[in-house]
Amino acid sequence: MLRSSRGARPRSISAARSLSRAAAFLRRRIAPRREDEVVWVGGRQVERALLALRVADPAGPAAGCAAQCCLSGVFVSLPERDRVLEHAGAVRRHMEPGQVRDASKWFTRRSHRDDDFEGGRCVGTRVHGGRCVFLNRGGLCTLQLASAREGLPQLKPFFCRLFPLTISDGVVVYDDLCEGEAACCTFTAEGPRSVLEACGPELQLALGREGYASLRALVRGSAEDVDHDPAGARPVELR
């Protein structure tokens, strides 16, 4: 689960955004990116530098995952919070003994402005016993379990599903929350698999199926199907 970060670099403003660092992140705004630093695809900007990175673990994200990214609590949009509370009974049914069952203690009361979230505001999940209230001892997300086992709308937050990618000021970038600590979520200059290949599901989530296909075409050197900046900027070639 995500949008927190332990000392995220200014380039990422991390998708997991740890609640302990929330104030600092919400005050910090990254410098506007130049046109040659992004590509436009699927109606969204993707950081060009991201496409040059590779994943350290050959199995890619989630391989051997120890849920380090989920421990500090996460930010979710207000509509996501409301969906979880609407299905609180189902969520409780999939909690383990010791998890917080009182729904009034699942989220922080104060919301923050952040235009990267649906609706432009977000709240945090609370931490209990050193982990997000929705993370069980087996390292599994209770929201994901409830959604899958009971056929519910997706309750697992968008940025949790997007990790180890995130969206920062509207741009798809790398979230460095677990960099160097978890190989599955560490991107490097060299590695067995490209981000484009290893993070296909996450890129499809951010860009849509057609957007992801267009991004693959662009990386292969064919930009004919790539969306253009609505303001008229040309998509940037990667060669």
- What is the DSSP secondary structure assignment for residue 75, as one 8-state letter? E
CB neighbours of 131 closer than 8 A, spacing ≥ 6?
Answer: 67, 70, 71
pLDDT in tens, the chain (239 residues): 344 433 332 222 343 444 433 433 333 344 556 777 899 987 889 999 898 888 876 666 655 666 667 778 889 999 999 999 999 999 999 999 999 999 999 999 999 999 999 999 999 999 999 899 999 988 899 999 999 999 999 999 999 999 888 999 999 998 876 666 666 667 778 877 888 888 899 999 999 999 999 999 988 874 444 444 443 333 333 32
Peptide bond into 164 cis (omega under 30): yes
* In contact, 134 and 106? CB cutoff 8 Å: yes
Give pLDDT tens digits for 181-200: 666 667 778 877 888 888 89
Query: Whole-angstrom Cα distance, residue 58 to residue 37?
Result: 27
CB neighbours of 87 closer than 8 A, spacing ≥ 6?
Answer: 146, 152, 153, 155
Which residue in 48, 27, 50 sits closest to 37, CA to CA? 48
Query: Whole-angstrom Cα distance, residue 72 to residue 186?
Result: 18
Q: Count each helix (H run) and each strand (E run) in the chain, helices first.
A: 7, 12
Q: What is the pTM of this model?
A: 0.76
One-letter identity of residue 137: R
